[in-house]
Structure 1
Amino acid sequence: MSRDIAGTNSAPLTSELFHTSVYKPNQGRIVRQLTCLAIWVIVALGSWSLYATLRGYFPTGSYVAPVASGLLLAIGAWVGYRLVNWPQFADFLIAVEAEMNKVTWPSKDELIRASIVVIFTIFFLAIALFSFDILWQFIFNFIGVTS
């Protein structure tokens, strides 16, 4: 079904990399911007890691590490920007934002009550598992299975 809807926008990502247009600019802006930002952060961290790794392999005056990491950063930033404007992925992100707008979020009081229930449940389950662990350890030590 979704392929039928997106059937007209089936251009491969490689052909989309060389366009500068924004696909459906007024739809799904928040999700697309946050996705692009997340991709950019990942690329920046990868570039920084590459720079730190290459800096140890080449002499101090070498430009290999900054050029390679800068090139990776520039290419990754462009690919991240174009990825969120690729029609198939952009339509998915637009649909995600539309579904998130339909969600009924809990009020502050409901959130606090639910959080307290979860915290106490985890606490009591941790105590129960610890008690079972101590009990089985005692039993195994008593019958001589463990020392």
Structure 2
Amino acid sequence: MLAFGCYALSGTLGQNVALRGSFGELPFLGISLTGAFLIAFLAFVLGSFFWVRWLGQPKIADHLIEVEGELNKVVWPSFSEATNSSIVVVVTILILMGFLSVADW
């Protein structure tokens, strides 16, 4: 989400004439270094840095470890069980749709 937000920020800032001018180009990536790109890239780097620092706090890290442990305890359905359950849901919805269509007629 951070990358998408910074990409959108770059597009929004790119509408400003003062930030459209190119300072150069990265030849191996073909990216033009504009003011809008540099601001969005700086926002991405700072956002990533603070996100990693926030996740590194002991309370947050302990919570994430506990969540991982709980996810390992979950018994996930097999493919055939998930398929059969999905078929039941679709058939039930179709029956309900038919009933509501007839009742609303």
TM interval, shorter chain, is 0.7 to 0.9
Tell me the TM-score normalised to structure 1 length.
0.57
Q: Which residue of 1 aligns with 2:84?
A: 113
Give the superposed CA RMSD: 1.7
- Structure 2 gaps of 5+ residues are 23-33
Distance apart, 1:98 and its partner CA = 0.5
Q: Secondary structure of the equivalent of 2:21?
A: coil
Give the 4+ runs in structure 1 shifted more than 3 A.
none
Q: Which residue of 2 aligns with 1:71?
A: 42
Say which of 2, 13, 21 aligns to 1:61. Answer: 21
More moved, 51-60 vs 123-132: 123-132
Residues 123-143 of structure 1: per-residue CA shift (max 9 Å, x gap): 111222222332xxxxxxxxx
Matches within 5 A, 1:84-103: 84-103=55-74
Distance apart, 1:108 and its partner CA = 2.5
> 2:11 & 2:72 partners in 1: Cα distance?
42
Q: Secondary structure of the equivalent of 1:56?
A: coil
Higher relative contact order (CA 8 A, sep 6+): 1
Counterpart residue type for residue 21 of structure 2:
G
Larger Rg belongs to: 1
Aligned sequence identity (%): 38
- The answer to whether the aligner puts 1:44 opposite 2:3 as a matched pair is yes
Q: Which residue of 1 aligns with 2:93?
A: 122
Distance apart, 1:56 and its partner CA = 0.6
Distance apart, 1:101 and its partner CA = 0.8
- Which structure shows the higher strand fraction? 2
> 1:82 & 1:129 partners in 2: Cα distance?
53
Q: Secondary structure of the equivalent of 1:80?
A: helix
Q: Is the 8 A contact 2:21 2:35 kept in 1?
A: no
Counterpart residue type for residue 89 of structure 2:
V
